[in-house]
Amino acid sequence: MNKKKVVMALVIALCVIVFTVSAVLLVIHFFPIKNDIIVPPSADVSSESVVLPENPINFAEQQAINEEICAWISVPGANVNYPILQSNVTEENYYLNHDVNKKSSAKGAIYIQRNNTWNFSDPNTVVYGHNMRNGTMFGSLKKFRKADFFNENRYIYVYTPGHILTYEIYSAFVYDDRHILNSFDFSSKEEYAEFLSATLSPKSMTRNVREGIEVDTNDRIITLSTCTGVKTQRYLVVGVLVNDQQTK
């Protein structure tokens, strides 16, 4: 191949390169590459409204019966299904001997005291009820003394306006008759831990503790308290909050 042909080939190759580069630059100029991810409107989560479930308890109807009904408790296996009351203007333990209609009654009602908040947001909410011989109120909690029943019945449900709270029962045992909320400062991590230790490793011979449940001072618990027939004792069923479902 002579020099003239080599030069001609180089010129042609150079022209091809220049043409190709020019074409690419024109495409980029008129059709710029987009790096943004285009999300279709239907995938915009922020624009979607969250559908909340209905609360099984109509608190407007309940509070029309008694304005001091603040919650509702259900322990399905033990057939506990009652409103929870909190006396705001009468004596602290008014519902110890008054029913939901504020009538004098030996069986009383299920209630919490004023040193707990009505919405169960405290570290430990203590709920009181009589140990009735016919099994009503908290009389059926004695079933948790049996290991088989304890193992098969795991949950306490508390309904409040706007929430369904699910607690997993992890301990049931005989305790002394001290006033729990006055004996422990649950705003103190140390004292809360002390009470939790008593629930996780009860000293009583009458006890059931669920294996594999971890509870610490970052958790919220519920303590169901009833008498045993012995003046210096109380029977406690304790659960840890495992779900807080918001409702309409």
Asked if 237 contacts 228 with a C-beta cutoff of 8 angstroms, the reply is no
User: 79-103 pLDDT, tens per residue?
Assistant: 999 999 999 887 899 999 999 999 9
For 89, half-sphere exposure in the C-beta direction (CA atoms, 13 angstrom radius) is 4
Residues 33-61: tens digit of each pLDDT: 333 333 333 334 444 577 999 999 999 99
- Cα–Cα distance measured from residue 153 to residue 143, given in angstroms and rounded to the nearest whole number: 10
Interval 226-241 mean pLDDT: 97
Helix (H, G, I), strand (E, B), or coil: what is residue 81?
strand
Q: Please report where in the chains the tokens 């909340």 appear, as a residue.
A: 52
Instruction: Tell if the pTM clears 0.85, that is, is over it.
Output: no
Backbone φ and ψ for 41, nearest 5 degrees, come out as -55, -35
Domains and CATH numbers, the chain: 59-246 (2.40.260.10)
In this structure, which long-range contacts are made by residues 233-236, counting pairs with CB atoms below 8 Å and at least 24 apart in sequence? 233/174, 233/175, 233/176, 233/177, 234/174, 234/175, 234/176, 234/177, 235/131, 235/141, 235/142, 235/145, 235/172, 235/173, 235/174, 235/175, 235/206, 236/171, 236/172, 236/173, 236/174, 236/175, 236/199
Could you list the beta-strand ranges (E) of 98-215: 110-111, 124-128, 155-160, 163-176, 207-209
